[in-house]
Chains A and B, each alone.
Chain A
Amino acid sequence: MYRNLKVNSAWFALGLLLLSSGLQADKNHLLVQSTTSTANSGLYDYLIPLFEDSNNIKVNVVAVGTGQAIRNARNCDADVLLVHAKLAEEQFVDDGFGLERFNLMYNDFVVVGPKNDPAKISETNTLIDMMKNIVDAKALFASRGDNSGTHKKEIALWKHAQIDVQSNSRQWYRSTGSGMGATINTAIGLGAYTLTDRASWISFKNKQDYIVLYEDDPLLFNQYGVILVNPAKCPSVNAKAGQQFIDWLLSAETQQIIAQFTVNNTQLFYPNAQ
């Protein structure tokens, strides 16, 4: 038994050793809860090393849908929130979870679909006509359905067109309940239309025969905002480093750098902090 105990405790010690090696206690860490488009397009890979090198602060990014990012930040699991759903962001600040919301940059949403465009939405000129075409053609539409920024936008657009999608959810409206990339993959599999932010679309690599069919509508504006989580509400917040990061993002110099970021020779984000 003693030998058994020894072997057992050796195993356990080994486990604990490996476990403790995961622990970290470093004040120079910053946790950012972010929307996926900024991460998946490669913007952070381009931008964040510049900040890390000049400030000696390590930035850790958790990229999830805007809805989940805000929920995580409400649980104090973030120092900085970088998302794209202005109303929800203002609510976050009003509820005391965020200090102040700043415009960071913008781009726009686009509707993508199969090249043959069964609902002929590329021939429409207004958002309402475009959406009515999809309904009338009973063409499939894939929705994020995950409370993300893009999903919130999509719901607002259907509401604007006075179309009740819930009652159609079994017919042509398909709620995937997944992230942007997974929803585009599903839409392509179904032959469905879907709404996506332009950055996610341009950097998406499995487009197959899908193209942008409806764009350049002021209603499809997509604003990104950045917020420091309120240290009074969440004492664990690294407010100093967080504020430093936000100041850096909003500075004229960094805004210029954001404007220079391209994928496939296309600018993805348009800075508008000033």
Chain B
Amino acid sequence: MQESAIGLAFGLILRGDANLLEIMGLSLRVSLSAVCLSLVLGLSAGAALATTEFRGRALATIAVNALMSMPPVVVGLLVYLALSRSGPLGWLGLLYTPTAMIIAQTILITPLIAALSRQVIEDLYIEYKDQFLSLQLSTAQQIKALLWDARYSLLTVALAGLGRSLSEVGAVIIVGGNIEHLTRVMTTAIALETSKGDLGLALALGILLLGLALLVNAILSGLNLTAKRQAYA
């Protein structure tokens, strides 16, 4: 079966199967949007946690770290209850749209970005602290310098977020509904084919999802390397 799945995967790609391209495109669109939003929210929270002193900071850090374990199904359920027509945000009419999927994934990934970036930024902050003091930089200037200097590590953080969002199925299947041509993404398609007993096709889609992740990672790493070369040339 494994061999036929690989053959099937290549066949689908070479044929340029329209349905498949649509599903892959939506997977990318939803995940990249969620990662963009999560970076804004998560990096802000991570930087704040790393550089400011306040009561309960240790507890907040533990809470953010713990939220990394949030089950996608629970996030999906919460977003469903909020966006359902009978829920508080039902009037927006967002349930079963890609937007609902982006919202759910943003909630899922933001804690991951916040927790990982907090560690990265804090490590750097300890190193830079005395310098910051002697230069008398404002908090905003400090955070700017930290984020810039940690950018390569933070790219890996962003990739971790992208990985989680590309691979999760529990949240998007509840709030998206796995509707053909509207909210079907790679993971929900894999779940569907598994439930139809078409394990070969499910596996082929899995291979393609992994290939997609590989492609995105390669592109971002390539950009990263180019940037590094220019920076240190």
Contacts and interface: CB of A to CB of B under 8 A. Distances in A.
Contact of B194 (A21, A24, A45, A181): A181
Contacts of B140: 1, 4
B195 A40 contact: yes
B199 A11 contact: no
B37 A19 contact: yes
Q: Interface SS of chain B: helix, strand, loop or mixed?
A: helix
Interface stretch (A133-141, A159-167, A199-207): A199-207
Given A23-B97, A23-B99, A11 B197 contact: no
Contacts of A185: 194-195, 197
Interface string A17-39: 01111111100000100001000
Interface stretch (A59-67, A117-125, A220-228, A251-259): A59-67
A211 interface: no
Contact of A11 (B29, B39, B87, B195): B39
A273 interface: no
A72 B175 CA distance: 11
B108 interface: no
Nearest to A25: B93
Contacts of A60: 96, 177, 179, 182
B197 A184 contact: yes
Given A60-B182, A76-B84, A77-B96, A181 B197 contact: yes
Contacts of A93: none
Contacts of B138: 1
Contacts of B192: 40
Nearest to B86: A75
Contacts of B37: 12, 15, 19
B86 A76 contact: yes
A75 B84 contact: yes
A15 B196 contact: no
A234 B138 CA distance: 54
Given A4-B144, A19-B102, A203-B196, A75 B85 contact: yes
A179 interface: yes
A168 interface: no
A196 to B, nearest CB: 11
Interface of B: 29, 32-33, 36-37, 39-40, 44, 84-87, 90, 93-103, 138, 140-141, 143-144, 147, 177-180, 182, 192, 194-199
13 contacts: A1-B141, A8-B40, A8-B44, A15-B33, A19-B37, A23-B94, A40-B195, A62-B96, A77-B85, A180-B195, A206-B197, A206-B199, A234-B85
Interface of A: 1, 3-4, 8, 11-12, 14-15, 18-25, 31, 36, 40, 45, 60-63, 72, 74-77, 179-182, 184-185, 203-207, 234, 236
